[in-house]
């Protein structure tokens, strides 16, 4: 299968933040930004895969700074990593105040997308051609995030299956802001 360089599917969405996008506090809804990010992830992933793609998970969603009405939001996306049937699209979000000419970085997050063929079965994706040190760094970082996620899933599976037997719940919760209001504190 012929690979594509990162530049092949790199994409940008730019959108003016209008009043209908705001929450009750007058700032742009986090969900509005999530929707734009999801669209951009789809564009990058489908372009690289040459197939329809679905969103399977999103890592590192943080809203570091509020976005105001009237600001122009630019989302820059590129495929950072390719597995067998999945791709990771990294997205950087920047908001600009046009009058002041000031830009702020509001979020960087990572969408994992899975390619599907015309029958709806998961489909293999082309390799990613890494042409710069930045491409290699992003690919390696995505690989490490994938490893951490897989270790986290395995840890929680083990933790949940052993919960009542192996963990001293009262001890674990002793410094937490909760009150154990059951007669038999688990594992204590």
Residue ranges that bind ligand COA, judged by CB under 6 A: 54-57, 83-86, 112, 114, 122
CB of 9 to ligand COA, least distance (A): 16
Task: Write out the H or E segment, with its range, that includes residue 134.
Answer: helix 133-161
In the numeric block, which tokens belong to residue 179? 């009150």
CB of 112 to ligand COA, least distance (A): 4
CB of 25 to ligand COA, least distance (A): 27
Closer to ligand COA by CB, 46 or 112: give it.
Answer: 112
DSSP class per residue in 61-106: ----S--BTT-EEEEEEEEEEE-SSEEEEEEEEEEEETTTTEEEEE
Closer to ligand COA by CB, 84 or 105: give it.
Answer: 84
CB of 56 to ligand COA, least distance (A): 4
71 dihedral zone (left: phi>0; alpha: psi -120 to 50; beta):
beta
Question: Residue 104 half-sphere exposure, CB side, CA atoms within 13 Å?
Answer: 10
CA–CA separation, 40 and 137 (whole Å): 21
19 to 16, 26, 27, 85, 161: CA distances (angstroms) = 10, 8, 9, 39, 48
Closer to ligand COA by CB, 73 or 123: give it.
Answer: 123
Position with the least CB separation from ligand COA: 83
Closer to ligand COA by CB, 74 or 122: give it.
Answer: 122
Closer to ligand COA by CB, 121 or 183: give it.
Answer: 121
CB of 96 to ligand COA, least distance (A): 29
């Amino acid at each position: 299968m012929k690979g594509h360089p990162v530049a092949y599917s790199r994409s940008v969405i730019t959108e003016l933040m209008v009043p209908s996008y705001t929450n009750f506090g007058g700032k742009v809804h986090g969900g509005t930004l999530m929707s734009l990010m999801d669209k951009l992830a789809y564009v990058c992933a489908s372009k690289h895969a040459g197939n329809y793609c679905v969103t399977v998970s999103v890592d590192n969603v943080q809203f570091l700074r509020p976005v105001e009405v009237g600001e122009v939001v630019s989302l820059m996306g590129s495929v950072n990593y390719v597995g067998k049937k999945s791709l990771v699209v990294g997205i950087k979000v920047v908001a600009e105040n046009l009058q002041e000419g000031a830009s702020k970085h509001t979020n960087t997050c990572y969408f994992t997308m899975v390619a599907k063929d015309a029958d709806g079965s998961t489909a293999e994706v082309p390799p990613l051609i890494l042409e710069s040190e930045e491409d290699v760094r992003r690919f390696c970082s995505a690989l490490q995030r994938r490893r951490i996620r897989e270790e986290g899933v395995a840890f929680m599976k083990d933790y949940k299956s052993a919960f009542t037997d192996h963990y001293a719940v009262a001890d674990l919760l002793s410094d937490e802001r909760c009150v154990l209001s059951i007669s038999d504190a688990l594992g204590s």
